[in-house]
Amino acid sequence: MTQRRETEPHIVARKTRWLLDAAPTIAGGLILAVAIVVLVVGWIFGVPAAQRIAPGLASMKANTAVGFILLSGALLTLVHWKGNAGRWVTRLAALAAVVLGAATLSQDLWGINLGIDTLIAEDPHSVLTWHPGRMSPGTAIGFMLTGVALTAYASPWRRARRLADGLTFWVGVIGLLAIIGYVYNLERLYEVAPFNSMAVHTAVSFCVLACGLVSFDWREGPAEVLARDSVEGALSRRLVPTGLLVPAVLGVVFLLGENTGLYGPHFSLALLALSTGIIFVVLVWRTGVVIESIDERRRVSEHRFRELADAMPQIVWSAGSDGQPDYVNQRWREVMKPHNGDALAQWRQMLHPCDRDEWSERWQASIASGEPFEMEYRVRVAPDTWQWHLGRAVRVEPRDDEPRWYATSTDIDHQKRVQEHLDEASRQKDDFMAILGHELRNPIASIMSSVEFLLAHESAASQQRFLEIIERQTGHMAGLIEDLVDLASISRGEYPLRPVQLDVADLVEQVVEDVAAQADDHDHELVVEVDRPTPLVADPLRLQQVVRNLVDNAIKYSPDGSRIEVSVENADEDGEVVLRVADNGQGIEPQALPFIFDLFMQTERSLDRPGGGLGVGLALVKRLAEMHGGCVEAHSEGVGEGAEFVIRLPKGRLTPQEQVAAHSAEATPSRPAPGR
């Protein structure tokens, strides 16, 4: 993957973020170093050059240096000592600076002397003031504002941040006014007569301290706009420094020219206005170029996003904080075919009637709470066609915009169908195990009872009757087991057919003859209607098994005295043979009819149902018919209306290889079809 090259706004924004992160430490370190030098070198060792910038300028007093040491130490502690202990140390240091400023200011207001001005060192140079060695009132106010601001920054309350930012602004204003006063020789901006003046390095220290404070935790404050990789970030980074520095620098340059006699005050003012205008025109032009670049990147990004969203097979949409969609992808339009109106209402109409109310309730609950939304529901993708979808939505809160919702709707219909089939297979397995235990337990119980009776009695007549019971029940068990073995063999592809040329009418009549006694036991009337001849290429044993299973079912599930019809039709025009087995027995439930040939399917679910069986007979019939290239159908008007099973088999023709195999099969004994 190729790495995207950073553009100029990206680079500047990244460097700005780094500078904002480092600013509190840099500011605190610089002020701490300056204050220590002034206090130790200037006042303790008496070096005048460390007290004042130049001769004739005001000096930074010893108390002022102590105040800056407290404030810079509090700022560094706040930045680097996390936790409650660090916050308490910050509050104590800031409070000490507040007390120092308040004590000094109270001396000026009420004309008292607390003895704190010369506590550390005397100031022999401030002889023209009322109180030599005392910091200026502006410095005292700056200490109080900065101390309270640091205390607010250390507070966990969110509103305290706004108070701290406001106080920091005024601290910067105090320092900036004093600097401008020194630059333009306006004493009123840094001196309150007859009190001491604010020193130049004191004013600069207040400005640096204000920058460090406003940069602390800048992501939550007004300085955050400077670090944005956006239009407002680019504008802020250009206009804020320019608005502060350009007028001041130009003013100093033209003032120097005026003082040296190069031009008069009116010409100086005209040059200042012209230069400022030119600089700001260039700045606006350059900013416009950057804005256009950012806007172009935004358009490209949006275009790529829309292409990506339109290429996705999922439905993708976004919404405002009220939950109303304001963007939908191509898949939405394909499914919805939207028209003018409420998009959310249109979407709701596409949901299944059983899912609409729940979807609306859960969607509104997510909007109210802001919690992610997730739900499975059905969507109409065509008339009378529903698909399962998984809907998800998350709430995103941009720093500079209102909250938004981003949502997807993924087609999970295939997974749901697979899961339903798995659940159905699991249910069928459970039913089969219950039925199997019941069906195998009953014959075994009869056999055991018969054996016990034979052991206790020696009557030949009774032995004959119970031997018949044993034979019948063991035959029933053998049939069940044979059906299971046959199904397993078919599923594994290990069930080869041995087709021969046969007459279906003869095969059907043989099956009917075999079950005649069983039908007589229930007073059933067996009616056989066959067309002759009915030639067919098929495996005789497997075809006999098919017909036997259908006739057995008709006998078992018909009340005594019913009529059972078995017919064979030679459909020459279709090239097929049609076998029908019909009865007027208990019939098939309409909801069970589509699944009647499923494995282990029983129309009667109770274990004490009449007739018995594992529910594998019809499944075996279907699979054997399909192996012969045919099909089987079931028809019933409902419960109590009887049922009809129709098998359609193509007549076919033996190939020479199959004829050889058929002759070999006739010479090889095969397993007989099980009888039940």
CB contact burial 31-68 (16+ within 10 A = b; e otherwise)? bbebbeebbeebbeeeeeebbbbeeeebbbbbbbbbbb
Which residue(s) pair with 393 in the sheet? 373, 407
Summarize the confidence of residues 163-169 as an average pLDDT: 91
What's the sign of the alpha-carbon dihedral 589, 595, 596, 602?
Answer: negative
Higher pLDDT, 127 or 348: 348
Under DSSP, is residue 612 helix (H, G, I), strand (E, B) or coil? Answer: coil
Task: Reply yes or no on whether the pLDDT at 286 is more than 60.
Answer: yes
DSSP H helices in 492-583? 504-521, 540-556
Instruction: Give helix 504-521 / helix 540-556 axis angle, nearest 10°.
Output: 30
Mean pLDDT of the chain: 80
> Would you list the domain boundaries of the chain?
8-224, 230-302, 312-411, 418-477, 497-667
Q: Which pLDDT score is estimated for 400?
A: 59
Weakest mean pLDDT among 87-96, 555-564, 602-611, 640-649: 602-611
| Residue range 312-411, CATH number | 3.30.450.20
Q: Which pLDDT score is estimated for 592?
A: 82
Task: Reply yes or no on whether the pLDDT at 631 is more than 60.
Answer: yes
Sequence-ordered list of residues with C-beta below 8 angstroms from that of 664, at least 6 positions apart, any chain: none
**Helix, strand, coil share of the chain (percent; to 5):** 60, 15, 25
Q: Confidence band (pLDDT; 50, 70, 90) for 567?
A: very high
Sequence-ordered list of residues with C-beta below 8 angstroms from that of 281, at least 6 positions apart, any chain: none
Burial of 593 (0-12, 13-18, 19+ CB in 10 A): middle
Burial of 367 (0-12, 13-18, 19+ CB in 10 A): buried
- Fold designation for 497-667: Heat Shock Protein 90 (3.30.565)
Burial of 275 (0-12, 13-18, 19+ CB in 10 A): middle
Weakest mean pLDDT among 43-47, 226-230, 324-328: 226-230
Bridging pattern class, strands 563-571 and 525-530:
parallel
Higher pLDDT, 331 or 65: 65
What is the Rg, in whole angstroms, of the alpha carbon atoms belonging to the chain?
50
Task: Reply yes or no on whether the pLDDT at 527 is more than 60.
Answer: yes
Summarize the confidence of residues 181-188 as an average pLDDT: 80
Among the ranges 269-278, 282-291, 515-524, which has the highest mean pLDDT value? Answer: 515-524
Closest CA to 614 of 597, 598, 602, 596: 602
Q: Which pLDDT score is estimated for 265?
A: 76
Under DSSP, is residue 592 helix (H, G, I), strand (E, B) or coil? Answer: coil
What's the sign of the alpha-carbon dihedral 580, 581, 584, 590?
Answer: negative
Sheet holding 643-650, edge to edge: 525-530, 563-571, 576-583, 643-650, 631-635
Which single residue is written with the structure tokens 């009616």? 527
Q: Confidence band (pLDDT; 50, 70, 90) for 65?
A: very high
Task: Reply yes or no on whether the pLDDT at 566 is more than 70.
Answer: yes
CB contact burial 483-499 (16+ within 10 A = b; e otherwise)? beebbeebeeeebebbb
**Amino acid identity, position 192:** V
Token output for 195? 């009190």
Under DSSP, is residue 596 helix (H, G, I), strand (E, B) or coil? Answer: coil
Full DSSP string of 48-90: HHHH-SSTTSPPPPHHHHHHHHHHHHHHHHHHH--SHHHHHHH
Strand runs labelled E in 284-384: 315-319, 325-328, 373-382
| pTM summary value | 0.49
**Amino acid identity, position 650:** P
Strand runs labelled E in 572-660: 576-583, 631-635, 643-650
Q: Which pLDDT score is estimated for 362?
A: 92
Among the ranges 301-305, 419-423, 541-545, which has the highest mean pLDDT value? Answer: 541-545
Closest CA to 171 of 138, 127, 200: 138
Summarize the confidence of residues 551-573 as an average pLDDT: 86
Q: pLDDT tens digit string along 195-252?
A: 678 889 899 999 999 999 999 888 888 888 888 777 777 777 877 877 777 777 777 7
Weakest mean pLDDT among 21-25, 30-34, 281-285: 281-285
Task: Reply yes or no on whether the pLDDT at 665 is more than 70.
Answer: no
Which residue(s) pair with 526 in the sheet? 564
Bridging pattern class, strands 385-396 and 315-319:
unpaired
**Amino acid identity, position 279:** I
Q: Which pLDDT score is estimated for 298?
A: 75
Q: pLDDT tens digit string along 483-516?
A: 666 656 665 565 678 888 888 888 998 888 888 8
Q: What DSSP state is assigned to residue 328?
A: E
d(CA 244, CA 238): 11
Q: Which pLDDT score is estimated for 147?
A: 94
Q: Which pLDDT score is estimated for 671?
A: 41
Sequence-ordered list of residues with C-beta below 8 angstroms from that of 297, at least 6 positions apart, any chain: 7
Q: Which pLDDT score is estimated for 1?
A: 39
